[in-house]
Structure formats: structure tokens, C-alpha cells
């Protein structure tokens, strides 16, 4: 094995090219810093690609399949009410998967172009942090090593699906989220362990395409991180669609056989058995920090493998930063990207921060579920006085015209200042609508500010306006509840 003796010098070296890492690298380069990005991801055709989990086997391919499966279901079940008759509708799963792969390929190639345009050096291979801000890059085939040195290093290794002993992965039969995006046929009966964001999205894709889907969730509550009122409505709508969601169901074992996978689980009523053709394990993710840094670096990790960082994402080691899924906070691509921008600007000597209180979360099911800020149960638990305004999409002219009027907008405002402290939405396109309230919260706006803003008619966004009006009992298109 050959090894380069003289380290290549950079201002910044980034390990990881997911949404946190590649954004950090680009922003560093924009700020005039000589930047390198190290990444070990291998994509289709055994070729190195950028984008990490999100672009290759996460956010983007899952949304492509969610979009395609939604259209397939719509043409089968919703066109009739619009006076459109469609016959001979068939599913070409291979073509759907090929489209998904093309979307992924186009976007990953786009990052290659952005690196070239901004002068970011892409080093292909695994990166390991050494003392004195050095990074050892080992080629994918292990035949060569390159040593990089920098003034600052940004760690953005991302995360991987958690595996469980009760359901060890078996190629093509018991799979993680990545495998669930690559089935070559629609399972007749599909099991999903975990009814969180990933489990619900993947379950929705395959239900729309014809699978009978059973989700086994160990927690007794559904979507515990969301507002309880919204979560309750989501559970109702998902069950109505045909998703068989079983709460308090703890999987204890699984066994593959000629007839599929036999899953043993326990709940409050005792022991149960389910047989499915395929089983998806979607119980969370863990940071990819094992082996990331040499022991001599002294990088501090917690018991779960997360890197300890301060408010600017600086680790316990000077000049070593960590961002994205490897640090505290929600494992969201946009959170990691904003941390990448912040760290780049801090390294360049600028003032920067991330407001973690206004980071939106989205579940891309149908209906979508989106929120930002405090939930009602959190405000109650904290003893904070607040006002609530809600507005159902059933009263929205645009939603009615679209034939998609399920769900609501819920706004929470501080009782003393009237500042918007939480927004919770379930309904069509709420992944886009939530941004309006996030902007309001970021600017310190009140519900009155939103109420005084003119929204176009007819639009779905009027529901945000009406919910803001409802905070003060002034909604126009629904009866206002008495205080």
C-alpha cells in the first residue's frame, strides 16, 4: 500500500458529502476558503457519488416513489369524482423505479457540478480524523491513502438505519429503509417495524401500489413528537386509508421461510404472530461515528455515538466541528444543511447561528403532516399560557375544489405577547404551507401579524390566515369557539 508523505494543505476539510457536508463545503468555498470534501459513498454501478443517504437512498428517492405512487392511486380512485374515466391503468414498477433512479442521478450529478463551480476538491474514499486537523483518506479499494491537513475540519458522517436482533436483515426479504426503496415487485403483504416518519412514508408507498401493510409500533402513543391533536387526526386518516397500525406492539423475533417472514410480537393482549412477504425495519437511525476519529484525537462522544458540540457545532477538540445527524437535534437534512452554513461562516470569522426552535418537520404521507415550534402538550407541561387557533381544510374553497379537504391548520400563540410559538398542520401540501409560519416565527411575528396579512383567494394558504384569525376568535369562514 502506497502512502503520500506530504499532506495536501487546505483551509477546511469536510468528512461526509450528505446535505450537511456538501453544503458546508460549498459555503466554505464561497467564503474564499480552500476546501476539500471526503466521501465514501458508492452508488449504482459501483461508482462514487455525492449526496449521502438523503439523495441516494433517503429523502429524494422516497419522495420520488411517494409522488409516483400517489399519482397511481389517484388515477385509480380519485379521477372519477372529477368526471374523468380512466381504464386499463397498469403499474410498471420497473419504470417507476427507473424514474426514481434518474431523479437521484440527476441531483447527485448536480452536486458534482456545484463542487466544480465553487472549486471544492472531492476526495473519494473513507475519511478518518487524525490529530492536528489531519484527515487520512483511504481509497475504496484500500490500495492507496492520501493525507490531508487543514486549519479546521468539519465532521458530517451522517447516519445509518438501526438494526435490531429481533429482525436481522436478510437480503431482499427483511430490509432497512434503503432496501424498501428497491423492491422489484409489490409485496402482497408487507410488514413494517416502526410507525414513525420513515415507516409511515415507506408503508404509504407500498400500500398505494397494492400491498396490505401492517405497521408494528412499540410505543403506546402515535407520533409522540407531533402535536397530540394532529397525531390523533393523522392516525384516523391513515387507518381509514388501510394502513394497519398497531401500537404497543413490541417485536420479539422473526423467522424467514418459504411463505415469507413470520413475525412474533407482544402487546397488551399477549403474544401474536403475523406472516408477511417482506419486512421493513424502520426503528430509527444511529450516527456514523464509529471509527471516524483516531483515539488520540480525544473526540468526545455520548453513549449513543453522537459527537458533543456547543451552540456553534464546535466539538471538544479545537478546530474540529461536527454537524448533521452526528450531533444533537433532529435528524433532518435541512437542519444539517443550516448547521453546515453556520459552521462555514463561523470558521470564516462571521457571526452565525441556527435557530433550532423554528426547524420544521414534515411527514410526506398523504395527507402530509408538518409542524414547527412548540406542541400544545409541551406548552401545557411547561405551564405556559397560550391561545389556540384552528381552521379545517373542509372550510377551504381551494381544498374543496381540489377534492382534498381533510386536515387542519393549528396555530399556537403566547398568551402574553401573542407571538406565534407553534404551527401544526395536517393536509395536502402542508410541507409548503408550514414555511409561512416558520418565517413568521423566525421574524418574531404575532398571530395578529399573520391575521393582518392579505392572502390570495382561493388558496390553501388562506387556512393559515384563518387559523391566525381564530387565535383571537375572529375567523371568518368557521364559527369561532367561545373562550
CA angle 21, 26, 30 (to 5 degrees): 145
- Whether residue 366 lies in the annotated active site: no
Residue 422: what are its φ and ψ, rounded to 5°? -165, 145
Listed in sequence order, the residues at least 6 apart from 106 whose beta carbon sits closer than 8 Å to its beta carbon are: none
CA 251 to chain centroid, in Å, comes to 24
- Specify whether the CB–CB gap between 96 and 68 falls below 8 A: yes
- In a 10 Å sphere around its CB, with 0-12 CB exposed, 13-18 middle and 19+ buried, how is residue 83 labelled? exposed
Listed in sequence order, the residues at least 6 apart from 23 whose beta carbon sits closer than 8 Å to its beta carbon are: 336, 337, 340, 341
Cell numbers given for 430: 402542508
Q: CB count, 10 Å around CB of 372?
A: 23
Question: What is the DSSP secondary structure assignment for residue 258, as one 8-state letter?
Answer: T
- Specify whether the CB–CB gap between 328 and 306 falls below 8 A: yes
Report the alpha-carbon distance of residue 154 to residue 345 in Å, rounded: 12
Report the alpha-carbon distance of residue 190 to residue 183 in Å, rounded: 11
DSSP state letters, 123-136: EESEEEEETTTEEE
Containing 15, the helix (H) or strand (E) segment is strand 8-15
Catalytic, out of 82, 429, 457, 465: 457
Nearest to 210 by CA among 375, 342, 73, 415: 73
Residues annotated catalytic, as ranges? 457
Amino acid at each position: 500500500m502506497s502512502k503520500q508523505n506530504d499532506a495536501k494543505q487546505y483551509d477546511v476539510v469536510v468528512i461526509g458529502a450528505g446535505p450537511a457536508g456538501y453544503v458546508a463545503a460549498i459555503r466554505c468555498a464561497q467564503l474564499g476558503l480552500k476546501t476539500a470534501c471526503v466521501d465514501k459513498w458508492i452508488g449504482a454501478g459501483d461508482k462514487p457519488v455525492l449526496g449521502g443517504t438523503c439523495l441516494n437512498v433517503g429523502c429524494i428517492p422516497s419522495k420520488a416513489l411517494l409522488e409516483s405512487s400517489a399519482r397511481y392511486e389517484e388515477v385509480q380512485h380519485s379521477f372519477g369524482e372529477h368526471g374523468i374515466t380512466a381504464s386499463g391503468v397498469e403499474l410498471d414498477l420497473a419504470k417507476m423505479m427507473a424514474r426514481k433512479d434518474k431523479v437521484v442521478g440527476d441531483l447527485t450529478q448536480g452536486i458534482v457540478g456545484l463542487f466544480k463551480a465553487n472549486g471544492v476538491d472531492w476526495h473519494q474514499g473513507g475519511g478518518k480524523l487524525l490529530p492536528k486537523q489531519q484527515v487520512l483518506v483511504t481509497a475504496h479499494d484500500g490500495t492507496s491513502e492520501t493525507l490531508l491537513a487543514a486549519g479546521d475540519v468539519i465532521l458530517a458522517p451522517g447516519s445509518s438505519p438501526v438494526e435490531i436482533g429481533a429482525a436481522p436483515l436478510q437480503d431482499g426479504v427483511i430490509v432497512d429503509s434503503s432496501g424498501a426503496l428497491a423492491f422489484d415487485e409489490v409485496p402482497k403483504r408487507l410488514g413494517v417495524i416502526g410507525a414513525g416518519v420513515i415507516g409511515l412514508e415507506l408503508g404509504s408507498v407500498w400500500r398505494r401500489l397494492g400491498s396490505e401493510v401492517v405497521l408494528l409500533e412499540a410505543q403506546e402513543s402515535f407520533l409522540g413528537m407531533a402535536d397530540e391533536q394532529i397525531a390523533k387526526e393523522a392516525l384516523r386518516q391513515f387507518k381509514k386509508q388501510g394502513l394497519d397500525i398497531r401500537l404497543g406492539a413490541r417485536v420479539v423475533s422473526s423467522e424467514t421461510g418459504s411463505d415469507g417472514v413470520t413475525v412474533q410480537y407482544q402487546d397488551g393482549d399477549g403474544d401474536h404472530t403475523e406472516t408477511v412477504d417482506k419486512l421493513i425495519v424502520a426503528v430509527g437511525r444511529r450516527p456514523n461515528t464509529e471509527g471516524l476519529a483516531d483515539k488520540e484525537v480525544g473526540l468526545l462522544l455520548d453513549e449513543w455515538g453522537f459527537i458533543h458540540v456547543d451552540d456553534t457545532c464546535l466539538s471538544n477538540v479545537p478546530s474540529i466541528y461536527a454537524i448533521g445527524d452526528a450531533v444533537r437535534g433532529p435528524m433532518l437534512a435541512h437542519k444539517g444543511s443550516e448547521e453546515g452554513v453556520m459552521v462555514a461562516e463561523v470558521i470564516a470569522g462571521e457571526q452565525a447561528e441556527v435557530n433550532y426552535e423554528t426547524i420544521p418537520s414534515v411527514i410526506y404521507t398523504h395527507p402530509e403532516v408538518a409542524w414547527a415550534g412548540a406542541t400544545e402538550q409541551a406548552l401545557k407541561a411547561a405551564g405556559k399560557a397560550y391561545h389556540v387557533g384552528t381552521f379545517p381544510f373542509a372550510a377551504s374553497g381551494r381544498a374543496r375544489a381540489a377534492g382534498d379537504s381533510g386536515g387542519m391548520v393549528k396555530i399556537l400563540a403566547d398568551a402574553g405577547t401573542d407571538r406565534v410559538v407553534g404551527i401544526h398542520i395536517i393536509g395536502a401540501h402542508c410541507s409548503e404551507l408550514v414555511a409561512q409560519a416558520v418565517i413568521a416565527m423566525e421574524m418574531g411575528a404575532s398571530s395578529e401579524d399573520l391575521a393582518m396579512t392579505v392572502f390570495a383567494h382561493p388558496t390553501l394558504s388562506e387556512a393559515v390566515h384563518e387559523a391566525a384569525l381564530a387565535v383571537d376568535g375572529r375567523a371568518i369562514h368557521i364559527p369561532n369557539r367561545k373562550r
